[in-house]
Amino acid sequence: MTFSETHETETQDAARTLFVELTGREPDGLWSAPGRVSLIGEHTDYNDGFVLPFAIPHRTVAAVGLRDDDRGRVRVASTFAAEPVEVALDELDEIFPTLRPAQGPGSDRRPAVPEWAAYPLGVAWALRQALTTDGAERSFRGMDIAIASDVPVGAGLSSSAAIEGAAASALNDLWDAGLDRTALARVGRRAENEAVGAPTGIMDQMASMLGEPDAAIFLDCRSLEAQLVPLGVAEAGLAILVIDTRVKHAHSTGGYGERRASCELGAEIMGVPALRDVSVDDLPRAAELMDDVTFRRVRHIVTENQRVLDTVRVLREDGARAIGDLLVASHVSMRDDFEISVPELDTAVDAALAAGALGARMTGGGFGGAAIALIERDAVESVSDAVTAAFAASGFTAPVLFTVTPSAGAHRDA
Ligand code: GLA
């Protein structure tokens, strides 16, 4: 059994055990979904642009069973929380009022359930809404949901999309909803935007739903058309190292929403529906039309979109060994133009590069979380040691380091 299979079994056992403790019976099934690493393409998703993430071996497992009491109640429990939360499906419409996705910073909305429970309950709410748009009366059986996960939380590896993906897959099966993976990703994003209140795009949910071993997902966030791009990291004698800085971030507050608002302003000034419609050649005109901060936000998105397209081409033509410079350019753009890096992430990237990494960049939404480094397979230890030493020298909390391989997306496990 491989390392990730051992982990998966442990997480499945934890979810099943919690379910049995909660209900005194066996679940109807186990469903799981992974976290993701974004290889390149940051903050481009909500600008209708391109992204290139892949699913990681770390997964969230939901042990789920329909309830017999038939009062349409949902109970959720998590190995991370002391108490389960129980609500009637009808009540969810009051708990999660419909918000505009980009409600943005300064929102004083507070969820009426603990944040961890807003993810699975938000999925139940969003899926139910998706199934009743035709106004037809439909009854939904209640259920018990027990969640366990080995996706690091707050590390920028989409622990939230993993919960959403596992819950959405389970409910889709148990309610016979018949939605496809893309529709389930939309349900997950709606939960994230409107139940949790984080104004994110759809990259994480699509990566978690569509992941495949050894491939990244090249996604057009406007059409939601996805292509699998073989990464060939292992074949090239390489590895992808994750450096979790342990600086926690949250996208339901602060900087993420502000960046999104700047992008919307930039698109409005350029007279286009989204920054996807601005090309690198348009940047001189953009510089004349907008203030410096807005321009630099726009420049990041426009150049990052181009870097995603370039990375896909280079991967196909020359393989993983050739993408290092694009990863570095992406980090520099996020550090200097989009200003979403933090000293720990810059230290991780600089130390990895100094220790021989072919490329490195922060991954995910920023303001904390993790960086990735593309390194020689036999340099995992030396690069890890160098990064750990650089953190110690700067007086930072020791990072957590591990390698990841592109892995399968959401599925039923048992
Ligand atoms: C978070 C969001 C995504 C995406 C990334 C940045 O992970 O959930 O939608 O915007 O940040 O690329």
Active site residues: 204
Round to whole Å and give the CA distance between 297 and 362: 17
Q: Is 304 in the pocket of ligand 1 (CB under 6 A)?
A: no
pLDDT in tens, 313-367: 999 999 999 999 999 999 999 999 999 999 999 999 999 999 999 999 999 999 9
Round to whole Å and give the CA distance between 108 and 111: 10
Q: Is 203 in the pocket of ligand 1 (CB under 6 A)?
A: yes
Round to whole Å and give the CA distance between 121 and 379: 43
pLDDT at 105 over 60: no
pLDDT in tens, 26-81: 999 999 999 999 999 999 999 999 999 999 999 999 999 999 876 799 999 999 99
Give the per-residue pLDDT at 104. Answer: 47
> What is the Å distance from ligand 1's center to 65 Cα?
31
Which part of the chain is CATH 3.30.70.890?
231-404
Round to whole Å and give the CA distance between 77 and 18: 8
> What is the Å distance from ligand 1's center to 31 Cα?
24
Give the per-residue pLDDT at 2. Answer: 62
Round to whole Å and give the CA distance between 364 and 41: 9
Structure-token pair, residue 381: 């230890």
Structure-token pair, residue 292: 């410096």
Q: Has domain 231-404 been given CATH number 3.30.70.890?
A: yes
Give the per-residue pLDDT at 7. Answer: 72
Q: Is 200 in the pocket of ligand 1 (CB under 6 A)?
A: yes
> What is the Å distance from ligand 1's center to 38 Cα?
9
Decide: 146 and 187 in contact? Cβ < 8 Å: no
Cα–Cα distance list, 6 to 9, 11, 17, 53, 239 (Å): 5, 9, 16, 24, 20
Q: Is 301 in the pocket of ligand 1 (CB under 6 A)?
A: no
Q: Has domain 3-229 been given CATH number 3.40.1280.10?
A: no
Of the residues 163, 200, 259, 307, which should be mutated to test ligand 1's pocket, given the most ligand atoms within 8 Å of the CB?
200
pLDDT at 106 over 50: no
Of the residues 39, 44, 45, which should be mutated to test ligand 1's pocket, given the most ligand atoms within 8 Å of the CB?
45
Closest atom, ligand 1, to C-alpha of 46? 10
Q: Is 42 in the pocket of ligand 1 (CB under 6 A)?
A: yes
Which part of the chain is CATH 3.30.230.10?
3-229
Tokens 């990863």 belong to: 327
pLDDT in tens, 252-283: 667 999 999 999 999 999 999 999 999 999 99
Q: How many residues does the chain have?
A: 414
pLDDT in tens, 163-207: 999 999 999 999 999 999 999 999 999 999 999 989 999 999 999
pLDDT at 111 over 70: no
pLDDT at 101 over 50: no
pLDDT in tens, 223-257: 999 999 999 999 999 999 999 999 987 766 679 99
Round to whole Å and give the CA distance between 252 and 250: 6
Give the per-residue pLDDT at 139. Answer: 83
